[in-house]
Amino acid sequence: MKILCFGMVVCDYLIAGIPSDIMSRNGAPIQSLRLSGGGDALNVAVGLTRLGQEAIICGRIAADPTGAYLTEYCKDNGVSPDYLIQDDEFPSATSFALIDPSGERHFLFENRIYANYSAEMVNERMIESADGVYFGSLLTFPKLDGGGLAEIFRRVKSAGKLTAMDAAIHGQKFEPGRMKSLRAVLEATDIFFPSIAEMEIYTGSRNPYKIAESVRDSGLRVFGIKLGEAGCYVTDFSDEKIIPAVPVQNVVDTTGAGDSFFAGFLSGWANGYTPFECAKIGNIVASYAIQKLGSTIGIPSFDRVVADLRASA
């Protein structure tokens, strides 16, 4: 399966071993520093290629050293960069992921380029070149959250292609009535798998069963909620399950764990697994990813994942 991944394309500086009291110190040594491509769309694209699928990336970069690095990063990881669009107004997106000793991360970022993401970025040629479109950044791009993404997904669905969507938090809070704005895009979405914190922004609830009821009549084929250490909730609206997370003893870096999960889920989908099996596959992939520094470097082969899936049955 070939997936067009649309959304955040970011240059990540991953800084591990940040002490929790760093702001009260003059300085402190770190454990390691790694430069990597990042952002949910790029992470999922790279994850898909590592798991044996094809991926194309669509996003905005500038004609700056960071943009040049991101283009080469795509090529080095088997992701086609043909649909990266040059932005002449803002620099390429950059983030500094400050990773504390427990593996949790805190971000500093330059993302003004997000203001220029629009529905016009995804054209019919892109849609026809892929079997489906993944969008990773609901709650991130003003022009897309305001109806642009719904327009894109309607065109994708009209072409008979798969639509899959995630979300990303940037400080938003729950507002009554926000869920209404989500309905148009849900009607054109096959798979929606946000985190529990992201759905709390839309519904005000952290109860996955209650949240699922709020989208039951939306037109989704599969709805899931990432629950962190608790695993994930998934439903096809005929059945529903909590899929436990895979225990990990040595958590190094949780950056991109949700993206690795979604890459695993989509790879399972491409190989004909049920939604519940896909969720197990996603959990397995994420469990490998968080044991390495970097969003995707720890992702194993799909054969390795399937072997783990069979062993857990």
pLDDT tens-digit readout, 243-302: 999 999 888 888 789 999 999 999 999 999 999 999 999 999 999 999 998 889 999 999
What DSSP element (H or E) covers 252?
none
pLDDT tens-digit readout, 177-224: 888 889 999 999 999 999 999 999 999 999 999 999 999 999 999 999
Q: In which domain, by residue range, is 239 found?
A: 2-20+30-302
Q: For 190, phi and psi rounded to 5 degrees? A: -85, -50
Answer for the pair 236, 279: CB distance below 8 angstroms, yes or no.
no
pLDDT tens-digit readout, 106-158: 889 999 999 999 999 999 999 999 999 999 989 899 999 889 999 999 999 99
Is residue 313 domain-resident?
A: no
pTM of the complete model: 0.93
147: CATH: 3.40.1190.20
* Position 171, amino acid: G
Is the pLDDT at 104 greater than 80? The verdict is no
CA-based Rg of the chain, rounded to a whole angstrom? 18
Is residue 56 domain-resident?
A: yes
Is residue 162 domain-resident?
A: yes
Is residue 308 domain-resident?
A: no
Using 50, 70 and 90 to split pLDDT, how confident is the model at 169?
Answer: confident
Is residue 259 domain-resident?
A: yes
Residue 250: closest CA among 293, 193, 300? 293
Is the pLDDT at 236 greater than 80? The verdict is yes
Q: Is 119 exposed, middle or buried (0-12, 13-18, 19+ CB in 10 A)?
A: middle
> Which are the contacts of 14, defined by CB distance < 8 A and separation ≥ 6?
32, 33, 34, 35, 36, 97, 99, 253, 255, 293, 294
Q: How many domains does the chain have?
A: 1
pLDDT at 20 (0 to 100): 85
pLDDT at 140 (0 to 100): 92
